[in-house]
Amino acid sequence: RGTPVRSMGCLCMLRPASALLLLLPATSLRVGGLPKLFQRTASPVTAREAALVSLLSDAFLAREPPNEAAAVAAVRDLSSACVPFDAARFGDGLWITVYTCGAETPRWQRLAQSRASRLLPSPNVAGQRYSFSDNGGRVLNYAELVGAALHITAGGAFEAVDAAQRCPKDFSVQIDGGTVCVGGLTLALPISGPGYLRVLYTSPAIRILTSLTRSPDRWEDAGLVAVQLPAERVAPDWVAPCV
Protein backbone atom coordinates (compact mmCIF):
# COMPACT_ATOMS: atom_id res chain seq x y z
CA ARG A 1 0.00 0.00 0.00
CA GLY A 2 1.17 3.56 -0.67
CA THR A 3 1.92 6.30 1.84
CA PRO A 4 -0.40 9.40 1.76
CA VAL A 5 1.52 12.66 1.26
CA ARG A 6 -0.12 16.12 0.96
CA SER A 7 1.60 18.20 -1.69
CA MET A 8 0.50 21.36 -3.58
CA GLY A 9 -2.96 21.17 -2.02
CA CYS A 10 -3.75 17.65 -3.16
CA LEU A 11 -3.41 14.22 -1.62
CA CYS A 12 -1.31 11.77 -3.59
CA MET A 13 -0.10 8.23 -2.91
CA LEU A 14 3.56 7.32 -2.95
CA ARG A 15 4.90 3.79 -3.17
CA PRO A 16 7.08 2.72 -0.22
CA ALA A 17 10.28 3.21 -2.24
CA SER A 18 9.23 6.76 -3.13
CA ALA A 19 8.33 7.50 0.47
CA LEU A 20 11.79 6.32 1.49
CA LEU A 21 13.39 8.94 -0.76
CA LEU A 22 11.51 11.69 1.07
CA LEU A 23 13.05 10.55 4.34
CA LEU A 24 16.63 10.51 3.05
CA PRO A 25 18.98 13.41 3.78
CA ALA A 26 19.47 15.73 0.86
CA THR A 27 23.09 14.60 0.56
CA SER A 28 21.89 11.05 -0.13
CA LEU A 29 20.01 12.29 -3.19
CA ARG A 30 23.08 13.69 -4.89
CA VAL A 31 24.56 11.87 -7.84
CA GLY A 32 27.15 10.17 -5.65
CA GLY A 33 24.70 9.29 -2.90
CA LEU A 34 22.22 6.95 -4.55
CA PRO A 35 24.78 4.57 -6.06
CA LYS A 36 26.38 4.16 -2.66
CA LEU A 37 23.03 3.53 -1.03
CA PHE A 38 21.67 1.09 -3.59
CA GLN A 39 24.83 -0.40 -5.09
CA ARG A 40 24.95 -4.16 -5.42
CA THR A 41 27.40 -6.12 -3.34
CA ALA A 42 28.53 -9.72 -3.76
CA SER A 43 26.19 -12.16 -2.05
CA PRO A 44 27.61 -14.14 0.88
CA VAL A 45 27.39 -17.31 -1.23
CA THR A 46 29.29 -15.77 -4.16
CA ALA A 47 31.97 -14.38 -1.86
CA ARG A 48 32.38 -17.70 -0.04
CA GLU A 49 32.56 -19.55 -3.37
CA ALA A 50 35.32 -17.26 -4.67
CA ALA A 51 37.29 -17.65 -1.45
CA LEU A 52 37.04 -21.45 -1.57
CA VAL A 53 38.06 -21.61 -5.23
CA SER A 54 41.13 -19.50 -4.48
CA LEU A 55 42.03 -21.49 -1.36
CA LEU A 56 41.77 -24.89 -3.02
CA SER A 57 43.36 -24.01 -6.36
CA ASP A 58 46.37 -22.46 -4.61
CA ALA A 59 46.78 -25.51 -2.38
CA PHE A 60 46.45 -27.93 -5.31
CA LEU A 61 49.09 -26.16 -7.37
CA ALA A 62 51.41 -25.98 -4.36
CA ARG A 63 50.78 -29.69 -3.65
CA GLU A 64 49.97 -28.81 -0.07
CA PRO A 65 46.79 -29.37 1.97
CA PRO A 66 44.58 -26.30 2.32
CA ASN A 67 43.65 -24.68 5.62
CA GLU A 68 41.35 -27.44 6.87
CA ALA A 69 39.12 -25.31 9.08
CA ALA A 70 38.54 -22.73 6.34
CA ALA A 71 37.87 -25.40 3.71
CA VAL A 72 35.42 -27.35 5.86
CA ALA A 73 33.52 -24.20 6.87
CA ALA A 74 33.22 -23.01 3.26
CA VAL A 75 32.12 -26.44 2.02
CA ARG A 76 29.50 -26.59 4.76
CA ASP A 77 28.15 -23.13 3.96
CA LEU A 78 27.96 -23.68 0.21
CA SER A 79 26.40 -27.12 0.62
CA SER A 80 23.55 -25.58 2.61
CA ALA A 81 22.87 -22.84 0.04
CA CYS A 82 20.38 -24.95 -2.00
CA VAL A 83 21.46 -23.36 -5.29
CA PRO A 84 19.59 -24.17 -8.54
CA PHE A 85 20.77 -27.26 -10.42
CA ASP A 86 21.31 -26.69 -14.13
CA ALA A 87 22.50 -29.66 -16.17
CA ALA A 88 23.93 -27.34 -18.81
CA ARG A 89 26.20 -25.75 -16.21
CA PHE A 90 27.17 -29.13 -14.74
CA GLY A 91 28.17 -30.40 -18.16
CA ASP A 92 31.07 -31.72 -20.14
CA GLY A 93 34.80 -31.53 -19.60
CA LEU A 94 37.00 -32.90 -16.88
CA TRP A 95 36.61 -31.46 -13.39
CA ILE A 96 39.56 -32.12 -11.10
CA THR A 97 39.06 -33.16 -7.49
CA VAL A 98 41.14 -30.74 -5.43
CA TYR A 99 39.83 -31.51 -1.95
CA THR A 100 38.03 -34.30 -0.11
CA CYS A 101 36.63 -34.64 3.40
CA GLY A 102 33.94 -36.50 5.33
CA ALA A 103 35.39 -40.00 4.98
CA GLU A 104 38.67 -41.86 4.75
CA THR A 105 40.94 -40.66 1.96
CA PRO A 106 39.80 -42.63 -1.11
CA ARG A 107 42.13 -45.18 -2.64
CA TRP A 108 42.41 -43.33 -5.95
CA GLN A 109 43.49 -40.18 -4.13
CA ARG A 110 46.14 -42.00 -2.10
CA LEU A 111 47.58 -43.41 -5.32
CA ALA A 112 47.46 -40.08 -7.15
CA GLN A 113 49.13 -38.22 -4.27
CA SER A 114 51.78 -40.76 -3.34
CA ARG A 115 55.28 -39.64 -2.36
CA ALA A 116 56.55 -40.71 -5.77
CA SER A 117 54.06 -38.37 -7.45
CA ARG A 118 55.90 -35.36 -5.98
CA LEU A 119 58.79 -36.16 -8.30
CA LEU A 120 56.57 -35.44 -11.30
CA PRO A 121 56.79 -31.99 -12.91
CA SER A 122 53.08 -31.34 -12.24
CA PRO A 123 50.46 -32.83 -9.89
CA ASN A 124 48.65 -35.97 -10.92
CA VAL A 125 45.14 -35.26 -12.15
CA ALA A 126 42.11 -37.08 -10.76
CA GLY A 127 38.52 -36.16 -11.38
CA GLN A 128 35.32 -36.80 -13.26
CA ARG A 129 33.57 -35.93 -16.48
CA TYR A 130 29.76 -35.91 -16.57
CA SER A 131 27.98 -35.78 -19.93
CA PHE A 132 24.26 -35.31 -20.47
CA SER A 133 22.46 -36.40 -23.63
CA ASP A 134 19.00 -37.40 -24.83
CA ASN A 135 20.03 -41.03 -24.29
CA GLY A 136 20.92 -40.47 -20.64
CA GLY A 137 24.01 -39.42 -18.76
CA ARG A 138 27.51 -40.87 -18.77
CA VAL A 139 30.20 -40.43 -16.13
CA LEU A 140 33.92 -41.06 -16.48
CA ASN A 141 36.16 -41.30 -13.42
CA TYR A 142 39.80 -40.58 -14.19
CA ALA A 143 42.92 -40.83 -12.01
CA GLU A 144 46.59 -40.51 -12.89
CA LEU A 145 49.27 -42.53 -11.10
CA VAL A 146 52.32 -41.34 -13.04
CA GLY A 147 50.86 -38.50 -15.03
CA ALA A 148 48.95 -39.36 -18.17
CA ALA A 149 51.50 -42.10 -18.91
CA LEU A 150 49.83 -44.33 -16.31
CA HIS A 151 46.21 -43.70 -15.45
CA ILE A 152 43.01 -45.58 -14.70
CA THR A 153 39.40 -44.92 -15.62
CA ALA A 154 35.99 -46.21 -14.60
CA GLY A 155 32.87 -45.28 -16.50
CA GLY A 156 29.15 -45.84 -16.51
CA ALA A 157 25.67 -44.42 -16.72
CA PHE A 158 23.84 -42.11 -14.36
CA GLU A 159 20.33 -40.69 -14.12
CA ALA A 160 18.41 -38.35 -11.86
CA VAL A 161 16.28 -40.04 -9.22
CA ASP A 162 13.77 -37.18 -8.98
CA ALA A 163 12.73 -33.91 -10.60
CA ALA A 164 14.37 -31.62 -8.04
CA GLN A 165 15.47 -28.31 -9.57
CA ARG A 166 17.73 -27.24 -6.70
CA CYS A 167 20.62 -28.81 -4.82
CA PRO A 168 20.92 -31.26 -3.23
CA LYS A 169 20.29 -33.14 -6.47
CA ASP A 170 20.52 -36.94 -6.43
CA PHE A 171 21.62 -39.37 -9.15
CA SER A 172 21.88 -43.13 -9.35
CA VAL A 173 25.08 -44.39 -10.96
CA GLN A 174 25.90 -47.73 -12.57
CA ILE A 175 29.58 -48.33 -13.35
CA ASP A 176 29.96 -50.75 -16.26
CA GLY A 177 33.68 -50.93 -16.93
CA GLY A 178 37.12 -49.46 -16.56
CA THR A 179 40.58 -49.28 -18.12
CA VAL A 180 44.20 -48.97 -17.15
CA CYS A 181 46.36 -47.08 -19.65
CA VAL A 182 50.13 -47.54 -19.74
CA GLY A 183 51.77 -45.44 -22.41
CA GLY A 184 49.72 -46.14 -25.51
CA LEU A 185 48.46 -49.51 -24.27
CA THR A 186 44.94 -49.76 -22.87
CA LEU A 187 43.78 -52.75 -20.84
CA ALA A 188 40.27 -53.45 -19.62
CA LEU A 189 39.53 -53.48 -15.90
CA PRO A 190 36.72 -55.74 -14.66
CA ILE A 191 35.01 -53.16 -12.50
CA SER A 192 31.24 -52.67 -12.20
CA GLY A 193 28.55 -51.90 -9.68
CA PRO A 194 26.01 -49.33 -8.46
CA GLY A 195 26.59 -45.98 -6.81
CA TYR A 196 24.62 -42.99 -5.59
CA LEU A 197 25.71 -39.40 -6.18
CA ARG A 198 24.41 -36.26 -4.46
CA VAL A 199 25.28 -32.83 -5.89
CA LEU A 200 25.50 -30.44 -2.96
CA TYR A 201 26.57 -27.32 -4.84
CA THR A 202 27.31 -26.43 -8.43
CA SER A 203 28.31 -23.35 -10.39
CA PRO A 204 30.50 -22.72 -13.45
CA ALA A 205 33.50 -22.33 -11.10
CA ILE A 206 33.14 -25.12 -8.53
CA ARG A 207 31.04 -28.11 -7.59
CA ILE A 208 30.65 -30.12 -4.40
CA LEU A 209 29.61 -33.78 -4.58
CA THR A 210 29.12 -36.55 -2.07
CA SER A 211 28.85 -40.32 -2.36
CA LEU A 212 25.98 -41.81 -0.37
CA THR A 213 27.17 -45.38 -0.89
CA ARG A 214 30.51 -47.16 -1.01
CA SER A 215 31.77 -47.35 -4.58
CA PRO A 216 32.49 -50.62 -6.43
CA ASP A 217 35.66 -52.36 -5.23
CA ARG A 218 35.81 -49.88 -2.31
CA TRP A 219 37.60 -47.15 -4.24
CA GLU A 220 35.87 -44.65 -1.95
CA ASP A 221 33.65 -44.85 1.13
CA ALA A 222 30.12 -43.62 1.69
CA GLY A 223 30.02 -40.07 2.99
CA LEU A 224 33.04 -38.85 1.04
CA VAL A 225 32.68 -35.21 -0.02
CA ALA A 226 34.65 -34.15 -3.09
CA VAL A 227 35.22 -30.58 -4.25
CA GLN A 228 36.03 -30.21 -7.93
CA LEU A 229 37.27 -27.36 -10.11
CA PRO A 230 37.34 -27.22 -13.94
CA ALA A 231 40.57 -28.61 -15.39
CA GLU A 232 41.28 -25.31 -17.14
CA ARG A 233 41.43 -23.60 -13.74
CA VAL A 234 44.12 -25.77 -12.13
CA ALA A 235 45.63 -27.69 -15.06
CA PRO A 236 45.25 -25.47 -18.16
CA ASP A 237 47.87 -27.45 -20.10
CA TRP A 238 46.29 -30.83 -19.39
CA VAL A 239 45.30 -32.77 -22.51
CA ALA A 240 42.96 -35.75 -22.32
CA PRO A 241 44.83 -38.98 -23.14
CA CYS A 242 43.10 -42.23 -24.09
CA VAL A 243 39.84 -41.53 -22.26
Please, which residues bridge with residue 152 across strands?
143, 180
Q: Taking a C-beta distance cutoff of 8 angstroms, is the pair 228, 128 a contact?
A: yes
List pLDDT tens digits, range 202-215: 999 999 999 988 77
Q: What pLDDT, on a 0 to 100 scale, did the predictor assign at position 132?
A: 84
More confident residue, 219 or 175: 175
DSSP helix/strand/coil, 25: coil
Angle (CA) 234 238 241, round 5°: 140
Give yes or no for residue 184 having a pLDDT over 90.
no
For the chain, percent of residues with pLDDT exceeding 90? 46
Q: How much is the pLDDT for 104?
A: 83
What percent of the chain shows pLDDT beyond 70? Answer: 79
* C-beta separation of 196 from 170 below 8 A: yes
Give the pLDDT of residue 93: 87
- Tell me the per-residue pLDDT of 76-124, one tens digit each, with 9 for 90 and over: 999 999 999 988 778 678 999 999 998 888 877 887 777 777 778 888 8
The C-alpha atoms of residue 56 and residue 237 are separated, in whole angstroms, by 18
Q: What pLDDT is stored for residue 14 in this prediction?
A: 37
Q: Which 3 state secondary structure label does DSSP give 235?
A: coil
pLDDT at 217: 64
What is the C-alpha separation between 9 and 172, in angstroms, rounded? Answer: 69
Predicted pLDDT at 42: 55
Residue 183 predicted with pLDDT over 80: yes
- pLDDT tier for residue 3 given thresholds of 50, 70 and 90: very low
pLDDT for 54: 97
Residue type, 101: C
pLDDT value, residue 226: 95
* DSSP code, position 162: S
pLDDT band of residue 39 (cuts 50, 70, 90) is very low
Mean pLDDT taken over the chain: 80
How confident is residue 8, by pLDDT bands cut at 50, 70 and 90? very low
